[in-house]
Amino acid sequence: MKTRHSLLTGALLAVASHTAWAQAPATSTAPQAKDATAITRAANQAARAQMPLNDKQSFDDAKRGLIESATNQLILGPTGRPVWTLKGYEFLSKEDAPDTVHPGLWRHARVNMANGLFKVTDRMYQVRGFDLSNMTIIEGDTGLIVVDPLVSTETAKAALDLFYKHRPRKPVVAVIYSHSHVDHFGGVRGVVNGDDVAAGKVKIIAPAGFMEEAVGENVIAGNAMSRRAMYQFGTLLPRSEKGQVDAGLGKPTAPGTISLIAPTQLIEKPVEKHRIDGIDIVFELTPGAEAPAEMIMYHPQFKVLNMTEIATQNMHNLLPMRGALVRDALSWSKYIGGALQRYGDKSDVMIAQHNWPVWGGDRLQRTLKNQRDTYKFLHDQTVRLMNHGYVASEIADSIQMPPSLSQDWSTHPFYGHLKHNIKAIYQRYLGYYDGNPVNLEALPPAPAAQKTIAYMGGADAVLKRAREDFARGEYRWVAQVASQLVFADASNQEARALAAEAYEQLGYQMESATARNAFLQGAAELRNGVPKLPSFVSASPDVIRALPLDMFFDFLGVRLNGDKAQGKTIAINWHFTDTQQKYVLNLENSALTYMADTQVANADATLTLSRATLDEISLQKTTFPAALQAGLIVVTGKREKVGELLGMLESFSVGFPMVEPRTPR
């Protein structure tokens, strides 16, 4: 039973590894990267001519209030591995964009290099460029209020240390999580001690629903999200003019220690005003926009509006390329409009938990109007064309941002991608199906590609025509047809090379950092194959211990191989002695279901253990067989049934193919 019991460990470790973005060491692909073609150079030059490149305001705003820069900062993790550094981005010092980077993205990536400790206004500071997100620090009457302690404890501690280098060393008396994404809570133990929170010395404040969303978002589909995140953030790409230059919201993060302390106070009403250590804060919930659980904040004493992540210095994602539930563009626009109405004429500064602030009442109101209208324009025009019967791809190809918005840098799709956002709106209302019945039974990618290439006269004929189209700069089509060649025959090296070159040129032309990263990572894998990724587990004890048991059992169901389970019925009681929770796990009809708060008399077996033991297994501090031998787990009844059930559970590999066919199941 040892092998089968180890599968339970795999289930728990899989859950652990999905609580953060994919984090793997970079593999250099620079030697094989090609130059921009004449057509890509012309496309980027044409884009340059349409952009307000003489507008330098963003550079001034990003540097305003700088107390100390930390460009050479190197933050190490517990194993000595770098957790954060801006080294490698020295190539961004050049003002003019190279041919291989969209001029708008180049400018944005350069502005995002501003880093260090900044004074926003009296008693309010930000640390930027220590992580993908910003940490905001407010000086209360007796201590500090920290808003969003970054991704990892290492970067959060380094950010607070930099603050203390220049300001009085007051204790942190409150931490505010603006929303449920890991880059806004993961470093909390780098700024506060859990014992102080438990003792009531530190408040942890978050929006309603925070814990459920923070722990659960990446569990069920976490393996797929982790792999796709490598494309979105470009974590495997080299930092270079032909590689990764930015992630839109900031520079991509590196692996560190993720922590989580549960909130002690939730903001539950749409608008709540609280005084925290002498600081008045108006909290306003904005659920369903950028995150399921999120809020913005207004500071009347300072006339500062913190839009957290629903109004940053770029068009955001309505559907992250890593995957998530589609966000509500209409509500998003309304939230921004409401903030403008209530706080616009009362604010002198607008900050966010990414990018840089906007100073001046007139400017911040204009920025809010343009942000509001960006999401409303995208929503309304997509739905308008949808109601005329156009499908997502047709709509995405026909909508362009109006000049009045495109002249504002903050509306540019440096993080979100215009066409992807339009398709997301379509998906939110109508789903993947475009109404054509053929797509209800369309062939999967590999067999469809094989038939398509055969109909087109075979691979050689297709390659000949595709090369001619490449020479004409028809990269979108070449990428599509060359991808068909690869899916028809993954061993066709000429097809892989041509597809990679088409992906690459498209990447060079992308204004969106995430779209650029995706195309360039795809090109790298077409050339080099799927990367050999090491096994990694974020293994945050805080997140694992916060995982509701319902989610654990839901995830076990996802891992069940339905074919292996055919015709089998198994019922297992689970009794957790420390939490006094009881579950019945039931296999029937090739589906794994569970009931909470009960046990059944006719169960095949009963597992008795503590939740603490389950957590220890998940964190690789022990194994199921070791816990069984030590008496930490007691199995009564038909022990072989436990092994049989665990033997039906699959493990997931994060290194599955993305731009070439998967192995048929």
Beta-carbon contacts of 567 under 8 Å, excluding residues fewer than 6 positions away, are none
Give how far Cα 417 sits from Cα of 182, 316, 424, 430, 481, Å: 22, 8, 10, 20, 22
Distance CA 412, CA 530 (A): 32
Amino acid at residue number 264: T
Res 535: pLDDT: 59
Any idea which residue has 């297994």 for tokens? Answer: 617
Distance CA 231, CA 599 (A): 44
| pLDDT grade for 653, boundaries at 50, 70 and 90 | confident
Mean pLDDT confidence for 432-443: 95
Mean pLDDT confidence for 196-210: 98
Residue 448: CA count within 13 A, CB half-sphere: 12
Res 185: pLDDT: 97
Digit-coded pLDDT (tens) for 343-396? 999 999 999 999 999 999 999 999 999 999 999 999 999 999 999 999 999 999
Digit-coded pLDDT (tens) for 311-347? 999 999 999 999 999 999 999 999 999 999 999 999 9
Res 354: pLDDT: 98
Digit-coded pLDDT (tens) for 282-304? 999 999 999 999 999 999 999 99
Give the predicted TM-score (pTM) of the model.
Answer: 0.94
Mean pLDDT confidence for 638-659: 92
CB atoms within 10 A of CB 647: 14
Work out whether the CA dihedral 599, 602, 603, 609 comes out positive or negative.
positive
Of the candidates 156, 348, 397, 411, the residue with the CA atom closest to the CA atom of residue 261: 156
| pLDDT grade for 11, boundaries at 50, 70 and 90 | very low
* 8 A C-beta contact, residue 576 and residue 610: yes
Beta-carbon contacts of 161 under 8 Å, excluding residues fewer than 6 positions away, are none
Distance CA 311, CA 148 (A): 16
**Paired tokens of 449:** 């590609």
State which H helix or E strand residue 632 sits in. none
Digit-coded pLDDT (tens) for 94-137? 999 999 999 999 999 999 999 999 999 999 999 999 999 999 99
% of the chain beyond a pLDDT of 70: 94
Digit-coded pLDDT (tens) for 48-103? 999 999 899 999 999 999 999 999 889 998 888 899 999 999 999 999 999 999 99
Distance CA 523, CA 158 (A): 36
Q: SS3 for 580-607, per residue? A: CEEEEEEEECCEEEEEECCCCCCCCEEE
CB atoms within 10 A of CB 532: 9
Of the candidates 29, 17, 14, 26, the residue with the CA atom closest to the CA atom of residue 525: 29
Considering the chain, what is the average pLDDT of its residues? 93
| pLDDT grade for 479, boundaries at 50, 70 and 90 | very high
Distance CA 253, CA 133 (A): 9
* 8 A C-beta contact, residue 570 and residue 551: no
* Maximum Cα interatomic distance, the chain, rounded to a whole number of Å: 77
Residues in the chain: 665
DSSP structural state of residue 244: B
CB atoms within 10 A of CB 446: 19
Instruction: Burial-class residue 41 by CB neighbours within 10 Å (0-12, 13-18, 19+).
Output: middle
% of the chain beyond a pLDDT of 90: 86
| pLDDT grade for 539, boundaries at 50, 70 and 90 | low
Digit-coded pLDDT (tens) for 485-523? 999 999 999 999 999 999 999 999 999 999 999 999 999
Work out whether the CA dihedral 392, 397, 403, 408 comes out positive or negative.
positive
Of the candidates 250, 251, 225, 228, the residue with the CA atom closest to the CA atom of residue 19: 225
Q: Please say if the pLDDT value at position 533 is more than 90.
A: no
Distance CA 264, CA 259 (A): 16
Helices (H), 344-444: 361-387, 392-398, 403-406, 418-430
Give how far the C-alpha of residue 502 lies from the chain's centroid of Cα atoms, to the nearest Å. 26
Digit-coded pLDDT (tens) for 12-23? 433 333 333 333
Helices (H), 54-152: 57-63, 103-111
Digit-coded pLDDT (tens) for 390-429? 999 999 999 999 999 999 999 999 999 999 999 999 999 9
Q: Please say if the pLDDT value at position 31 is more than 70.
A: no
| pLDDT grade for 1, boundaries at 50, 70 and 90 | very low
Amino acid at residue number 355: N
* 8 A C-beta contact, residue 343 and residue 304: no
Mean pLDDT confidence for 436-460: 96
**Paired tokens of 183:** 């880059």
* 8 A C-beta contact, residue 505 and residue 219: no
Distance CA 647, CA 50 (A): 60
Bridge partners of 294, per DSSP, are 179
Distance CA 114, CA 128 (A): 7
Q: Please say if the pLDDT value at position 611 is more than 60.
A: yes
| pLDDT grade for 536, boundaries at 50, 70 and 90 | low
| pLDDT grade for 7, boundaries at 50, 70 and 90 | very low
Q: Say if strands 135-139 and 144-147 run parallel, antiparallel, or are unpaired.
A: antiparallel
Helices (H), 186-315: 194-198, 210-216, 222-233
- Of 22-36, 264-278, 641-655, which has the strongest mean pLDDT? 264-278
Q: Please say if the pLDDT value at position 607 is more than 90.
A: yes
Give how far Cα 134 sits from Cα of 76, 98, 129, 145, 316, Å: 19, 28, 7, 14, 16
Residue 106: CA count within 13 A, CB half-sphere: 26
Distance CA 503, CA 237 (A): 14
Phi and psi at 284, nearest 5°, equal -135, 120
Helix (H, G, I), strand (E, B) or coil at 479: helix
Distance CA 143, CA 169 (A): 9
Of the candidates 370, 402, 355, the residue with the CA atom closest to the CA atom of residue 107: 355
Res 18: pLDDT: 34
Compare 310 and 8 and report the one with higher pLDDT: 310
CA angle 415, 396, 425 (to 5 degrees): 70
* 8 A C-beta contact, residue 299 and residue 306: yes
Res 80: pLDDT: 87
Of the candidates 341, 136, 338, 155, the residue with the CA atom closest to the CA atom of residue 251: 155
Res 664: pLDDT: 73
